[in-house]
Amino acid sequence: MSYFDAASSAPLHPVARQALLASLDEGWADPSRLYREGRRARMLLDAAREAAAETVGCRPDELVFTSSGTRAVHTGIAGALAGRRRVGGHLIVSAVEHSSVLHSADMHEADGGTVTRIAVDRTGAVTAEAYERALRQDTALACLQSANHEVGTVQPVGAVAEVCRAAGVPLLVDAAQSLGWGPVEGDWSLLAASAHKWGGPAGVGLLVVRKGVRFAPQGPVDERESGRAAGFENLPAIVAAAASLRAVRAEAAQEAVRLRELTDRIRTRVPHLVPDVEVVGDPERRLPGIVTFSCLYVDGETLLHELDRAGFSVSSGSSCTSSTLTPSHVLKAMGVLSEGNVRVSLPLGTTEADVERFLEVLPGAVTAVREKLGASLPTTIATEDALIVDALGKRCPIPVIELAKVIGEVPLGGTVRVLSDDEAARLDIPAWCEMRGQEYVGEEPADQGCAYLVRRVS
């Protein structure tokens, strides 16, 4: 079995396992106590903090350990907004942030604050100019991920941090995906990360608040972790997290070269092996181990099951892998195809043979899924000026499959109206038009769902 979902959670690093087992015997006491066992635990905690801070590039007293990366994000955003409440209640986030950031933004908005969501281009990247335009007199905080978790695109954190610093606005960076590969560039103010993303144990997050940043912890606090993370520290897990971060960083330069070559191989060969595929994300400014592509006429969940049966664990941002049946917010913001979406994220140590076997298996898996979905026949109605495809009640990719079946039946310049009540169609039909060289005219309200208009131009 080949595990290709390291962006969700990386396998436990051997150094993390060793440190965890060793610290179970030494780190069980309360590090706030003055007796021998407590002093021993305090030494382990202080050493872990110093090691993590050195790797991050901050002072030890600026870094606290939280119960998760999500908790670090929530605490960081809430504390920074509260600390700067006299400035105002305006928050800036990108449209492709991790859900933990977006959920915090939604809560801030519900509590009366204002939020600007920065759009991205088709590679998933923001621009520093967009953040600069969004800055206002009442902006309390800006947030930007260091790299995207779904498509691997690396964001211009340094440039964004510069414009924020010039305006006197702190920038919080979600570095969960990138911290294992290297320090975050730029003069950022706050940083959050999660240990299980780099091969540490789950249940440990990092929150860094630079000196000079106004910060007011919210909710009940206690004396632990500078009052920013209440509760008894999970010391064995913290020690393992810090040790594995240092170990992963020591391997990062060499592994980055190797994994980048493997993901480049996937990016290059998949479009030749599988027809009607869109590789998404920035081809250059991206993390070494992540490659994401979308397959037309494929149900994402079914494809993942096919690949799982073939021995590959991958993930997807496809609408069909969500209980809400809505497209991934990242793919939606990018304006790319959501159906049949596959994210391959290679863990450290992935071999060339693993990737070659994946490339051998993928075409057959996609073909099998397409054959299963291709049996459905469209219901079409011919009118004087358009062909109407009734795909109501059918989930993507069926509306796109039925559109593809009938587009050749209309003359050049003719129009197809696709009726659909699946939200994913609003993203996938325009993306299909761009991939297949047809013109997406727009959408119109219908008695049920929407009517998506496509003009045949080729």
Residues labelled catalytic: 320
Q: Are the C-beta atoms of 81 and 91 separated by less than 8 Å?
A: yes
Among residues 415, 389, 288, 393, the alpha carbon closest in space to that of 347 is found at 288
Residue type, 455: R
Radius of gyration over every alpha carbon of the chain, rounded to an integer in angstroms: 24
Among residues 268, 330, 264, 305, the alpha carbon closest in space to that of 125 is found at 330
What does the alpha-carbon distance between residue 102 and residue 359 come to, in Å, rounded to a whole number? 35
Distances (CA, A) of 381 to 163, 387, 410, 432, 456: 55, 6, 12, 21, 17
The alpha helices in 274-322, defined as continuous H runs, are 300-309
Residue type, 138: D
User: What residues are paired with 64 via a beta bridge?
Assistant: 207
Burial class (CB in 10 A: 0-12, 13-18, 19+), 329: middle
What does the alpha-carbon distance between residue 283 and residue 280 come to, in Å, rounded to a whole number? 8
Contacts of 48 (CB under 8 A, 6+ apart): 65, 235, 238, 239, 241, 242, 243
In the block, tokens 């600390």 appear at 83
What does the alpha-carbon distance between residue 205 and residue 68 come to, in Å, rounded to a whole number? 4
**β-strand pairing of 190-194 with 171-174:** parallel
Among residues 209, 257, 277, 218, the alpha carbon closest in space to that of 60 is found at 209
What does the alpha-carbon distance between residue 326 and residue 428 come to, in Å, rounded to a whole number? 11
CA 285 remoteness from chain centre: 15
Would you state the structure tokens that stand for residue 371, as one six-digit string?
């054959």
Buried b (16+ CB within 10 A) or exposed e, 226-243: eebbbeebbbbbbbbbbb
Tell me how crowded residue 15 is: count the other CB atoms within 10 A of its CB: 19
